[in-house]
Structure 1
C-alpha cells in the first residue's frame, strides 16, 4: 500500500494529479503547504487495506495516525488475531513451477514490505520535521522577545500559551509579531481614556529618579488638562529645590499655559497650600528627583503621603534605562510608597524616542502590574505625550532592525558561541573565496552583485549617490549576441508586493544572467519598451510569465518578434472554428517529444504535445498551443500539467518553441524567489535603498535558479559548498540556495571589510 506524493502549484492542481494517476477513488492521506507548493499524499483504491484489516492496528485517517501506533496497540491487535478461529486450509494444485513461484512471491512481498517501510520512514521524518518546525517557531518567538529586551521570565510566561496554528509551517514573521503584540497588549494595563485620570483625580504627584523627565511631563499633563477644561482649574506645585533651573523651567511653562505655580519651602507642609488650592479641580506636584538608593526617598514619599487628601502617585520611568536598574527603581519606590501608607500603581514611560528598545521598561511594567498612563516621545509640550491606546508602541517594541548585542539567549554560552563563530568564519574563508571566484566567472552579472552588496553598509545619502553612478554605468551597454531570450515578469506587481519583477536575460547558450533590469526605469508602453530593448538584445526571443495583452501581441507581431508564455488550462483558444478551453483539447494534440530536465532541484521527465490554434479577435496571428506533463524521473509519479502559447505554427519553429518552454519551465521560480530575497534583505538591512534591494533580490534569485538547474560539474560543486555554509538539512533547491547566497555575501563582505576599506561600485 505504497503512498504516492503529488505536488502542485495549488490544491486544485495537486488534486488533478491525484485523479490523473490514481483515479477518483484515491484515498487522501494528507495535504499540506510546502516550499514547492501543495503536497498531497494519497493511496490508490486497490492499495487501501481491506475492511477487516482496519481493526488490526489503527484506522488510517491521517499520516500522523500511522506514526502514533503504540507497541501496546500493536500487541493487542496481534492477540486479537490469535483469538480468532483460523480459516480452514484450502487445497491448491501443485504446479511444476511451485518453487519458482514461491521465490517470485517472496521477492514481490519483500519489495512491497520495503516500499511500506520507506513510506513509513517518510511519514516519520515528516512528523519529526513538523515537530522541529514547531520548536523552531517557538524558538523564533522567544528570540524575538529576548532581542526586544524582555526578560526570559516574562518571555516564557507569554509563550506558555502559544496557539498551535502559530507553531506550524504556515506561521509567517508578520503573523508571529502580530500575535506577540496582541499578547503583550492583553497583559499590559493601560489608561484608555484620560478623562478617567483628570475627572476622578484631584491630586497627582510625579515621582522618579533624577533626570527621567518629571518636570517636562508635569508641563505636558497640565497642558492636556488645560486643553480639556481651561487654565483656571489647574495648579502646579514644585518641590524640587536641588536642581538648578528647575523652578524657572516650570515657571516658563506655567506662564505659557496661564496656570498657577507654587513653590513651597523645603520643610513646608503641603496641607496648608492644598487648602488654599481647594477651588482647583487638579493639582500636579513635580517632586525632586531621587535615586532609588537615596536614603531620603522614604522621607519624601512619606511627606507626600501625609496629606489628608487622596493622592495619586505616578512613577516616571526612563525607557532608556537598563532592565535591572528599572527593576530596582520600581521595587524600591513601591516599597517606599507602601511604607508611607500610599499606593504606587501608575506610571508614565518617558524618553521613548531615545530608547533603542522599549522591551525592558514594558517588561517591568507588565510584571509589576503597573498601569501605563502615558508615553513621552519627545520634548514638545503637549504634543509629545501620548496615550498608550493611541500608539503603535508595542509593534515598535517588537520591530527590531538588528538583534540586541546584550540579549542573553537561554542555554547559550556567549563566549563559547563567539569562539565557535570565529573558528567557523576562519574555516570558511577559503570556501568563500573559491565560491566567489567561481560564481563570478561562470555567471554573468554576479561580480556586479558583489559590488552592489557593499552599498548596504553606507548611509542612505551615499547609497543613493553610488547607486545613481552605477545605473549610469549600466546604461553604457554593449549589444548582446543574438538569439538570446528576454524573461519578462507580469505587467503588474506580485501579490503583496509594491514592485514589478525586473527583466532578466538569457544568453544564446541558454544561460541565465544575474543582471536585472528594473522595469520602472524603462520607457512606458509596449511599443517604446520593446523598441528600447531591440538594440540592446537584437534578435532575442520574448518569454513572458503571463500571456501578453492584445496591444503587446500586436506590437510583437508587427516587429516580427517571437514569443512564448505559460497559460492556464482554462485559457480559451480557437481551434477548428470553436472557442474552447485548452484543457479540453489534450486528446486532439500531436505528441512530439520527451525531455529530461532539472526542475526545482529535481530531475523530471517532460512529455510534450502541441496543437495549432488562434486567439479570439486575432485570427491572422497563428499560434501553437503546447501541452506538457511532468513526471518524476526516479519515482515516475505525475507532478502536474502545464500549458503554453507560442507565436507561429510553422514546422521550422518547433525546436525553438520547445527550447523556450523548457527554459520558461525551469525558471518559473524567479518571481517567487525574488519576493523571498526582497523579504530577507529587509531583515539584513531595513534601511536599504528600495532599488538596490530589488536589484539584489532579483540578481540573487537568478543566481539561485541558475545553480539549481545547471548540471555541469562546477555547478554541482558550488551547490554542495553553498548549502554547507548553512546549518540544517543540506537540500540544494533554489530556496535553500538563495539563503546560502545571502549568507555567502554577508560573510564575504565581512572578510573584505576586515582587510580592505569599502570601495565604490563604479571604480
Structure 2
C-alpha cells in the first residue's frame, strides 16, 4: 500500500492530481483544508485542500504485465472461431468501487460545510442560554454603569467643592437648597459669599439671621413695584408683547378682570392687534362681553391711534399683540413702529415659566431694546422650581408686574412683589387663593 499527500487550491484539482499519479484505483483516505504561507502572523496565508490517497503497489507493478497479456489475448482472439453475434446493447455491470469512491468524494467536499454548521449550532446554543439567563449579559453591563456612576459622582462632588470655595460648612445646606431650586450655582455662591462678608464666620451659626439675610439679598436683586391696577390719575396704556404661546391673550383678559374687581368704576378698554388668529379676537370678545367693557380691533398703527383717541377718558387701555418669534425681524419692526409713535406705551414682556432659561434670556435680549418696562410671568403652575426666574431677573434687571398660574380669569393672576418672588424661588409654593372665576368664558391659556 502506497500513501501520498496532495495539495491543491480546490478539491477537484487535488483529485485530478491523485488520479494522474496513482491511477483510477487510488483510494481517498482523508481530506481537509489547511493554511499555507502567511508571513507575519499569518496575514498573507492561503487556504489549500490537502488530500491523502492510497493505492495498492502490487496493482501498479502488474500494470505492464497486464498490457503484454492483453496483447497475447488479442492474438488468440483473432485466431479463434467467430463467436455468436451479441445484442447491440449489453447491460452494464455496476462497479461498487466506483460508487464508493464517488460517495467519498462528496463526503470529503462536505467536510468544511459540516464544520461551519457545527459552529452555527454552537452559536445558536450560546444565544439561547443568554436569553434564558439575561443576567449573564446584563451583569457586566450593570457593573460598568455602576463604575461610571461612581466616577461621575466623584467628579461632580469635586467640582462642587471647588465651586463653593470660601463658603463655611454652615452655608452648604443653603447653597445646595438654592441650586436644587434652579438658582444658578455661581449666583448662589456669590449671594452666600456676600452674607459671609456681612456676618463673618462667627455668626454663620445663627440660622435665623442667615435666613433673613438670604431673603434680603434675594429681594435686593429683584424689582417688583407691586402696584396692581388701582385708580390712576392719568391714562395708562399697557401693551403685552412676547413670543407665541406664552398666554398673552388670556393674560390681557385677566388684567381687565382684575381692574374691574379692584375698582368697579375703573374704565378699561381692550384692544387687540392679533388679527392673525380669529380665535384670539373671538376669545377677547367673549371676555369683553362678560366684563361689559369695550373691545377694539386695530390692524395698523393709525388704527391703534384712532382707538386710543376714541377712549381718551379710559383709565386703562390693555393691548393684545400677535406672538412674535425673537427671530421675526418684520414683526419686531412693527412693534418698534408702534413705540416710536405718539402713544405713551408701557410694554409688558410675557414670559412662560416652562421655557428653558437659555430661551428666556434670548427673548429678553431680543425685546429689551423695544424697550421693555415690565415682565409678566405666566404658566407658573406648569413648573415645580422657580430658580430660573431669579437667574433671568437678576441678569435682566427688569421689574416684574404680575404672576399668572392657571386658566381662571381673573383669579389666577396676582400682583408681583419681591417677597412673593423670593417665596417662589425658595420653594414655598404658589398659594394663589381660590375664588369664583368668570363663568362662561372658554379656552385660552394664561
Normalised to the residue count of structure 2, the TM-score between the two structures is: 0.53
Number of matched pairs: 265
Match of 1:162 among 195, 199, 217: 195
Change (3 A) 1:396 1:230: closer
The one-character-per-residue Cα deviations of 1:391-443 (angstroms, maximum 9, x if unpaired) are 74422322389xxxxxxxxxxxxxxxxxxxxxxxxxxxxxxxxxxxxxxxxxx
The one-character-per-residue Cα deviations of 1:32-70 (angstroms, maximum 9, x if unpaired) are xxxxxxxxxxxxxxxxxxxxxxxxxxxxxxxxxxxxxxx
Contact 1:318 1:349 in 2 (8 A): yes
Contact 1:154 1:367 in 2 (8 A): no
1:211 offset after TM fit, Å? 1.1
Change (3 A) 1:168 1:243: farther
- Are 1:215 and 2:249 an aligned pair? yes
Contact 1:240 1:287 in 2 (8 A): yes
Aligned pairs for 1:612-761 (under 5 A) are none
Contact 1:198 1:225 in 2 (8 A): no
- Are 1:281 and 2:315 an aligned pair? yes
Match of 1:237 among 252, 268, 271: 271
Match of 1:143 among 176, 180, 185: 176
Report the counterpart of residue 357 of structure 1 in structure 2. Answer: 385
Match of 1:382 among 403, 410, 424: 410
Aligned pairs for 1:235-274 (under 5 A) are 235-265=269-299, 269-274=303-308
Question: What runs of 5+ residues in structure 1 fail to find an aligned partner?
Answer: 1-130, 338-342, 402-763
The one-character-per-residue Cα deviations of 1:686-706 (angstroms, maximum 9, x if unpaired) are xxxxxxxxxxxxxxxxxxxxx
Contact 1:134 1:167 in 2 (8 A): no
Change (3 A) 1:364 1:390: closer
1:147 offset after TM fit, Å? 2.1
Q: RMSD of the alignment, in Å? A: 3.0
Larger Cα Rg: Structure 1 or Structure 2? Answer: 2
Partner Cα separation in structure 1 for residue 218 and residue 425 of structure 2: 10
The one-character-per-residue Cα deviations of 1:520-544 (angstroms, maximum 9, x if unpaired) are xxxxxxxxxxxxxxxxxxxxxxxxx
Partner Cα separation in structure 1 for residue 416 and residue 266 of structure 2: 28
Partner Cα separation in structure 2 for residue 196 and residue 366 of structure 1: 27
1:331 offset after TM fit, Å? 0.6
The one-character-per-residue Cα deviations of 1:605-628 (angstroms, maximum 9, x if unpaired) are xxxxxxxxxxxxxxxxxxxxxxxx
The one-character-per-residue Cα deviations of 1:591-640 (angstroms, maximum 9, x if unpaired) are xxxxxxxxxxxxxxxxxxxxxxxxxxxxxxxxxxxxxxxxxxxxxxxxxx
1:370 offset after TM fit, Å? 0.7
Contact 2:267 2:316 in 1 (8 A): yes
- Are 1:297 and 2:331 an aligned pair? yes
Deviates more, 1:261-270 or 1:350-359: 261-270
Change (3 A) 1:364 1:199: farther
1:231 offset after TM fit, Å? 6.1
Change (3 A) 1:268 1:134: closer
Partner Cα separation in structure 2 for residue 236 and residue 209 of structure 1: 20
Q: Higher relative contact order at CA 8 Å, sep ≥6: structure 1 or structure 2?
A: 2
Match of 2:375 among 318, 323, 347: 347
Report the counterpart of residue 30 of structure 2 in structure 1. Answer: none
1:365 offset after TM fit, Å? 1.4
Report the counterpart of residue 179 of structure 1 in structure 2. Answer: 213
Report the counterpart of residue 703 of structure 1 in structure 2. Answer: none
Could you say what secondary structure the match of 1:161 adopts? helix
Change (3 A) 1:197 1:190: farther
Partner Cα separation in structure 1 for residue 179 and residue 334 of structure 2: 36
Contact 1:134 1:168 in 2 (8 A): no
The one-character-per-residue Cα deviations of 1:190-234 (angstroms, maximum 9, x if unpaired) are 122225795555211011111111111111111121223336711
- Are 1:227 and 2:261 an aligned pair? yes
The one-character-per-residue Cα deviations of 1:637-675 (angstroms, maximum 9, x if unpaired) are xxxxxxxxxxxxxxxxxxxxxxxxxxxxxxxxxxxxxxx
Partner Cα separation in structure 1 for residue 230 and residue 268 of structure 2: 16
1:155 offset after TM fit, Å? 2.6
Contact 1:346 1:372 in 2 (8 A): yes
Could you say what secondary structure the match of 1:245 adopts? helix
1:169 offset after TM fit, Å? 8.3
Contact 1:215 1:246 in 2 (8 A): yes
Change (3 A) 1:157 1:244: farther
The one-character-per-residue Cα deviations of 1:435-460 (angstroms, maximum 9, x if unpaired) are xxxxxxxxxxxxxxxxxxxxxxxxxx
Contact 2:235 2:313 in 1 (8 A): no
Aligned pairs for 1:535-614 (under 5 A) are none
Contact 1:148 1:397 in 2 (8 A): yes
Partner Cα separation in structure 2 for residue 220 and residue 236 of structure 1: 11
Could you say what secondary structure the match of 1:249 adopts? helix
